[in-house]
């Protein structure tokens, strides 16, 4: 329950921010109005001694969030994907936040697994190691399945983490409401919506069944991707608080020396990691949104292995098509068409000037085309594009911010493998293939077929629906609908509906 009982936690939070020097940094990042800024500093200063000291070697904001515990660490990570909220500088700082905490005991992990799976640990795993990695929400153990002898990774939620997160999220909501009430100017930052977004992400990570489901869907989408592997989920030994998957054996993608020693072609890996991400985002609309070196390995055969599916990004098909047209327009340097697509999609308010918007887009695109190919950054292009659209009143779309952030991370991974990679050359075949399939003649036929299938499902009900509509028209005519429905609709419209219905009915029969 959100209420005054959260005040003590917020006092501790403010005191820690003040003691670590993070208070001013965070207030600046959120562009906090002067009255609220003064009130925060005045209220926090007397309680400074109650705050956590943290690690002095860390930047102030990272130091404070790390000291406050798992919920705050995770909140900082989520905010690192929202430069629209905290600004580019703070988002960049939060990206280096190391999500590493002391591991909990193997006895606690054993109790969690046995309670979840209803069997003694020895009956499930013939071997079970000490933690090999510990994060804010869970930790990972290396184990061996008793039934098959296969080596697996076992992810176990921290005991009591659900309750701890709920308590802090409750305090976050209380703080957001307090800020919105006393500072109307802060409402443009939508504090409550930010907390709601955070709560949604955390809810997904606190139920490992959802992460396992995401991994399973991701695996189904990418089954045909050459040079790419995902761990297999072991559903029989997974549950809400435990997830078992096959062990990912390979060299860390961030260790160039190890990759060279193993004989891997880093230039080829650089190209593949970028093309894989673009395929997942454009082709599937479902992508790994935490694709940094720590979550990627290279198998002995050269395949890239991805793991940790707690944060996944989703883009619906309509949005993908819109952005395909936008990207296609940039490639052709047709800035007027790019501007039109933004207006047609409703991204930019209709009362803005299309020509002025097109000129602003030209200012984004032309410098990019004038660069040396090895210096071009798609991440920067997306960043510049979002800056321009924001100036013209485009509302923030969380999934696109996540796409931008992931693109920057993946691009950084690719360039760390091969600094001279030509990003346009690598991305071109993936983007071109998607454009042909999504906005070409084949796409039109596919859309028509899907529409017909939907109509087919209503085929048996169509006569009754038409009859009901005619009866309502006879019983309750309106001035603009008083003419016969066939005349109002027009023969072309009737023909289109009849043709669609016939095609749909044929599909229904087959």
On the question of pLDDT at 495 being above 60, the answer is no
On the question of pLDDT at 299 being above 60, the answer is yes
Angle at 84 between CA 82 and CA 90, to 5 degrees: 65
Higher pLDDT, 486 or 154: 154
How far apart (Å, rounded) are the C-alpha atoms in residues 269 and 253? 9
Q: What domains, with CATH codes, occur in the chain?
A: 4-100+163-203 (no CATH), 105-158+207-247 (3.30.200.20), 250-439 (no CATH), 446-509 (no CATH)
CB of 344 closer than 8 Å to CB of 362: no
Question: Tokens standing for 205?
Answer: 């990570």
* C-alpha to C-alpha distances, 263 to 76, 248, 274, 425, nearest whole angstrom: 38, 19, 20, 24
509 confidence band (pLDDT: 50, 70, 90)? very low
CB of 119 closer than 8 Å to CB of 244: no
pLDDT of residue 502: 43
Higher pLDDT, 422 or 355: 355
Question: Tokens standing for 63?
Answer: 């130091």
pLDDT of residue 177: 78
Higher pLDDT, 507 or 420: 420
CB of 158 closer than 8 Å to CB of 137: yes
Instruction: List pLDDT tens digits, range 374-391.
Output: 666 666 666 677 677 777
Instruction: List pLDDT tens digits, range 193-207.
Output: 777 777 777 777 889
Give the DSSP letter of residue 226: T
Cα–Cα nearest to 298, from 341, 255, 340: 255
Least confident window among 87-91, 109-113, 388-392, 499-503: 499-503
Cα–Cα nearest to 172, from 68, 271, 308, 24: 68
On the question of pLDDT at 111 being above 90, the answer is yes
CA 189 to chain centre: 19
Most confident of 14-18, 95-99, 505-509: 14-18
How far apart (Å, rounded) are the C-alpha atoms in residues 172 and 175? 5
Q: In what order do the strands lie in the sheet with 251-252?
A: 228-229, 304-306, 296-298, 251-252
Task: Kindly give the pairing relationship between strand 151-157 and strand 138-145.
Answer: antiparallel
Task: Kindly give the pairing relationship between strand 304-306 and strand 296-298.
Answer: antiparallel
- β-sheet bridge partners, residue 153: 142, 245
Active-site annotation holds for 99: no
**Percent of the chain at pLDDT exceeding 90:** 27
210 confidence band (pLDDT: 50, 70, 90)? very high
Q: Mean of the pLDDT values across residues 385-400?
A: 69
pLDDT of residue 270: 93
pLDDT of residue 101: 64
Cα-based torsion angle of the residue sequence 68, 70, 71, 74 in order, rounded to the nearest 10 degrees = 110
pLDDT of residue 370: 65
Least confident window among 291-295, 340-344, 377-381, 435-439: 377-381
pLDDT of residue 491: 41
pLDDT of residue 150: 96
392 confidence band (pLDDT: 50, 70, 90)? confident
Cα–Cα nearest to 174, from 341, 43, 10: 10
Instruction: List pLDDT tens digits, range 133-156.
Output: 887 788 999 999 999 999 999 999
On the question of pLDDT at 400 being above 50, the answer is yes
Higher pLDDT, 443 or 362: 362
pLDDT of residue 205: 81
On the question of pLDDT at 272 being above 90, the answer is yes
CB of 386 closer than 8 Å to CB of 361: no
Which residue in 290, 308, 316, 433 is the catalytic one? 290
On the question of pLDDT at 339 being above 80, the answer is yes
On the question of pLDDT at 442 being above 60, the answer is yes
On the question of pLDDT at 487 being above 60, the answer is no
**Residue 378 contacts by C-beta under 8 Å, 6 or more apart in sequence?**
407, 411, 423, 427
- β-sheet bridge partners, residue 305: 229, 297
pLDDT of residue 224: 92
């Amino acid at each position: 329950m959100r209420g005054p009982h959260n005040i003590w936690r917020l006092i501790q939070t403010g005191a820690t921010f003040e003691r670590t020097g993070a208070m001013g940094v965070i207030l600046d990042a959120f562009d906090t109005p002067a009255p609220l800024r003064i009130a925060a500093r005045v209220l926090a200063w007397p309680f400074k001694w109650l705050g956590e000291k943290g690690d002095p070697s860390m930047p102030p904001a990272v130091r404070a969030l790390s000291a406050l515990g798992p919920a705050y660490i995770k909140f900082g990570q989520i905010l690192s994907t929202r430069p629209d909220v905290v600004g580019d500088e703070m988002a960049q700082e939060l990206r280096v936040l190391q999500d590493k905490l002391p591991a909990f005991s193997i006895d606690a992990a054993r109790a969690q697994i046995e309670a979840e799976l209803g069997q003694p640990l020895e009956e499930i795993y013939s071997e079970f190691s000490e933690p090999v990695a510990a994060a804010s929400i869970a930790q990972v153990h290396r184990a061996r399945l008793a039934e098959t002898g296969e080596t697996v990774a076992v992810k176990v939620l921290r005991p009591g983490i659900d309750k701890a997160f709920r308590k802090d999220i409750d305090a976050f909501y209380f703080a957001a409401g307090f800020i919105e009430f006393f500072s109307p100017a802060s409402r443009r930052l939508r504090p409550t919506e930010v907390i709601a977004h955070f709560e949604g992400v955390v809810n997904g990570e606190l139920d490992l069944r959802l992460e396992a489901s995401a991994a399973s869907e991701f695996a189904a989408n990418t089954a045909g991707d050459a040079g790419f592997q995902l761990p297999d989920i072991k559903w029989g030994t997974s549950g809400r608080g435990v997830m078992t998957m096959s062990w990912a054996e390979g060299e860390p993608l961030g260790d160039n020396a190890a990759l060279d020693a193993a004989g891997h072609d880093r230039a080829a890996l650089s190209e593949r990691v970028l093309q894989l991400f673009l395929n997942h985002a454009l082709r599937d609309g479902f992508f790994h949104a935490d694709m940094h070196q720590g979550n990627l390995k290279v198998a002995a055969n050269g395949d890239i292995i991805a793991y940790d599916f707690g944060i996944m990004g989703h883009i619906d098909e309509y949005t993908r098509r819109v952005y395909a047209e936008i990207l296609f327009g940039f490639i052709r340097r047709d800035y007027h068409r790019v501007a039109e697509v933004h207006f047609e999609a409703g991204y930019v308010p209709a009362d803005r000037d299309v020509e002025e918007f097109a000129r602003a887009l030209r200012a984004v695109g032309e410098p990019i085309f004038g660069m040396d190919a090895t210096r071009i950054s798609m991440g920067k292009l997306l960043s510049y594009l979002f800056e321009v659209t924001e100036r013209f009143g485009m509302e923030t779309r969380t999934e696109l911010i996540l796409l931008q952030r992931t693109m920057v991370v993946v691009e950084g991974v690719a360039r760390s493998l091969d600094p001279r990679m030509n990003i346009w050359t690598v991305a071109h075949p993936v983007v071109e293939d998607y454009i042909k399939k999504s906005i070409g003649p084949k796409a039109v036929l596919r859309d028509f077929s899907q529409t017909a299938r939907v109509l087919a499902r209503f085929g048996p009900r169509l006569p009754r629906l038409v009859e009901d509509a005619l009866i309502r028209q006879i019983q309750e005519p309106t001035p603009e609908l008083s003419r016969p429905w066939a005349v109002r609709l027009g023969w072309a419209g009737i023909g289109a509906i009849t043709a669609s219905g016939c095609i749909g009915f044929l599909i229904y029969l087959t």
